[in-house]
Amino acid sequence: MLRRGDARRYNSARMPRTNERLEALLSEWADLLEISGADSFRVRAYQKAARAAGGHSRDVGDLGEKELRQIPSIGAHMAARIREFVETGTMHDLEELRELVPAGLRELTRIPGLGPKKAVLVNRELGVASIPDLLDAIEHQRLRAVKGLGAKTEENLLRGIRNLREHGGRMTLDVALRVAEDVIEELRGRAAVEEVAYAGSLRRMQDTIGDIDLLVASTTAPEVTEAFVGLPGVQSVVARGDTKSSVLTAKGLQVDLRVVAPEVWGAALQYFTGSKAHNVKTRAIAVKKGLKLSEYGLFEVESGRRIASRTEEEVYAALGLPWILPTMREDAGEVEAALRGDLPDLVSLGDLRGDLHGHTDSTDGVATLEEMLGAAAARGYAYYAVTDHAEKLHMSGMKRETVLEQRDRIRSLQGRFPTMAILHGCELNIDRDGGLDYPDEFLAGFDFLVASIHSRFNLPRDEMTRRLLRAIENPFVNVIGHPTTRMIGRRPEVDVDLEAVLSAAARTGTALEVNCHPDRLDLRDEHVRWAVERGAAIAISTDAHAPTHLENMRFGVATAQRGWLTKARTLNARSLRDVREFVARKRGK
Ligand code: DGT
Ligand code: CA
Ligand code: CA
Ligand code: ZN
């Protein structure tokens, strides 16, 4: 959970709504084009336009066609489509395309590991037109009869389908948070509402959210409920009572609302934040003390007297516990640690002094070097690493002369942001054998290096492990970026001996990343915990491709907290000097 001040700090500047909707629509368009066999150039044009619209610093809805065409990757055709969307709320050609592509086929592309290309292939060769069809084909081993597919594909797709089912119907953190913040903003102004907050898995900042739980303190519950079910974003009302109601938004997201009396606010917040397992533990502690804990407060069993309910702190204190960060409330040992007075001091947003992974328009970012640096400096960072893609990234890596030009530009920009140092870095591609894009002499010219897997996600476990270990052993590699490469709901984690990777990282002085993008959150919470136990350092990095992405830091911090990461173990909570020393030590200097 964010400290109270942090949330406010980052609420003000978020991605404009139109940009976000356009990004989603244009990338859907790209997928549909690919399924219908359009040439790859066209598909890429839509993908690029999607990213450009999503990452643009101004609200694209406010721009005319001429201004739109000045955005890189947006041509006349795309500009006209965007205007059409802004004016009519839809894009006619996209709607037509949706009609053309069968729903079953569209569903297939939602399976992690099955992109549009493979979906077309299994459809054409095997007549597979839905997920049940695909499961049937896998079961009868029909996939391996198709050229280019094999037993390994079957295994991967099964994992993908499982992954889809696990996360299916759940939303990513950013989506949930935006809906919750919108509803809260609507309710906050009403006279009947004394307090309003989100609880549940969103407050615990789990990587995916089943439904959003909102809590309101009020003395006039019916009035609040009335306002809630009548909000503009509400599509349908699932349940409606005096103190308890549920609605669905247009996208089918469920929002639950509970209205409680102001004097039991703390107890209700504690109860509805959960997790259920954490609550079981806290209730057991109450029972041992002759008390009873519910959403209405902490009571003495014998007298029925309420002894705490106003704030969460009071409730925990009356149980003999310190207040516990919501991100820790998973019954993962936090209650025991709290009882021992041994809760670790976890990293928080305010501890971070820099961001060590970010892109510019020299590769696939959508903003210039100066724009990215300006946004980073505005966050008060003491350092920022520019890590554009190295040359072997398909179609968008930097040639060596571009790297050197960028280095010169960065040199001339040092001092432009008086309190922020600029590190010249690069995001290297780990090839299938663990090799990197450039020879060591060239790597030595960088201040800081991230190395990531961007291809060959399906290697067998031992090969994948060897691959990552070799990259970790390179003296110039400082961070392994998004180590498991998962995309939530879309691509499963690579099969790797993570314990071996973490141990090697700890031994060699290499950090592992918590990639803050809400579609990644990689390492995830549990893996962070393993890393902490094995003594590896963690870099919490946004991998920003646009200035707005810098705000994703809050998701990475929450994920790190869920993995019990301390400030001491967080690379980018250290001073610039210590980060430089981290680099120098690995290089043997
Ligand atoms: P989700 O929605 O699947 O992402 O996960 P949560 O944790 O938000 O779960 P949800 O929405 O079912 O309930 C919200 C919180 O309310 C949950 O974390 C703890 C509390 N809660 C709900 N039902 C129960 C229950 O039967 N027993 C207890 N102790 N707590 C409950
Ligand atoms: Ca929930
Ligand atoms: Ca719920
Ligand atoms: Zn990156």
**Rounded mean pLDDT of 26-35?**
89
The mean pLDDT value of the chain amounts to 92
| pLDDT tens track for 57-115 | 888 989 999 999 999 899 999 999 999 998 888 898 998 888 888 777 887 887 877 87
| Letter string b/e over residues 475-508, b meaning 16 or more CB atoms within 10 A of that residue's CB | bbbbbbbbbbbbbbbbbbbbbbbbeebbbbbbeb
Tokens at 370, concatenated: 């100066």
pLDDT band at residue 11 under the 50/70/90 scheme? very low
pLDDT at 8: 31
Residue 9 has pLDDT above 70, yes or no: no
443/477 Cα distance (integer angstroms): 9
* Residues less than 5 Å from ion ligand 2, measured at CB: 200-201, 211, 213
Give the up-direction half-sphere exposure of residue 290: CA atoms within 13 A in the CB hemisphere.
5
What is the DSSP-derived secondary structure letter of residue 111?
S
**Rounded mean pLDDT of 233-240?**
88
Residue 371 has pLDDT above 50, yes or no: yes
- Residue range(s) in the chain whose domain bears CATH number 1.10.150.110: 17-167
209 ligand 1 Cβ < 6 A: yes
| pLDDT tens track for 187-214 | 999 999 999 999 999 999 999 999 999 9
Which mutation among 238, 279, 293, 324 tests ligand 1's pocket best, with the greatest number of atoms within 8 A of CB?
A: 279
pLDDT at 5: 32
Select from 550, 536, 542, 544 the least CA-distant residue to 582. 536
Which pairs count as long-range contacts for 291-294, CB under 8 Å and 24+ apart, including other chains?
A: 291/318, 291/319, 293/267, 293/319, 294/267
CATH placement of domain 171-260: 3.30.460.10
Q: Which atom of ligand 1 is nearest to the CA of 211?
A: 2
**Rounded mean pLDDT of 123-138?**
87
Residue 419 has pLDDT above 60, yes or no: yes
Range 17-167 has CATH code 3.40.50.2300: no
Compute the distance from residue 284 Cα to the ligand 3 centre, in Å.
Answer: 23
pLDDT band at residue 14 under the 50/70/90 scheme? low
Nearest CA to ligand 1 atom 19: 274
Select from 545, 546, 477, 462 the least CA-distant residue to 513. 477
* Ligand (nearest to CA of 295): 1
* Ligand (nearest to CA of 450): 4
CATH placement of domain 265-340: 3.30.210.10
Tokens at 256, concatenated: 């639950």
Nearest CA to ligand 1 atom 10: 200
Please report, for residues 402, 503, 572, the alpha-carbon distance to residue 347 in angstroms, rounded to integers and kept in the order given: 36, 22, 10
Which mutation among 167, 212, 213 tests ligand 1's pocket best, with the greatest number of atoms within 8 A of CB?
A: 213
Please report, for residues 288, 423, 485, 552, the alpha-carbon distance to residue 538 in angstroms, rounded to integers and kept in the order given: 39, 18, 16, 16
Compute the distance from residue 212 Cα to the ligand 2 centre, in Å.
Answer: 5
Percent of the chain with pLDDT over 90: 71
| pLDDT tens track for 493-505 | 999 999 999 999 9
213 ligand 1 Cβ < 6 A: yes
Query: Which positions ≥6 away from 337 have C-beta within 8 Å?
Result: 343, 344
216/307 Cα distance (integer angstroms): 22
Select from 4, 46, 50 the least CA-distant residue to 350. 4
Q: How many CB atoms lie within 10 A of CB 382?
A: 17
Block residue for tokens 């060897």 = 466
294 ligand 1 Cβ < 6 A: no
Q: Which residue has the higher pLDDT, 28 or 582?
A: 582
Q: To which CATH superfamily is domain 349-586 assigned?
A: Metal-dependent hydrolases (3.20.20.140)
525 ligand 1 Cβ < 6 A: no
pLDDT at 167: 60
Compute the distance from residue 425 Cα to the ligand 4 centre, in Å.
Answer: 11
- Residue range(s) in the chain whose domain bears CATH number 3.30.460.10: 171-260
Q: Which atom of ligand 1 is nearest to the CA of 202?
A: 8
pLDDT at 168: 61
SS3 of residue 106 by DSSP: helix
- Residue range(s) in the chain whose domain bears CATH number 3.30.210.10: 265-340
Compute the distance from residue 211 Cα to the ligand 3 centre, in Å.
Answer: 5
**Rounded mean pLDDT of 343-372?**
96
Range in 137-141, 225-229, 304-308, 418-422 with the lowest mean pLDDT: 137-141
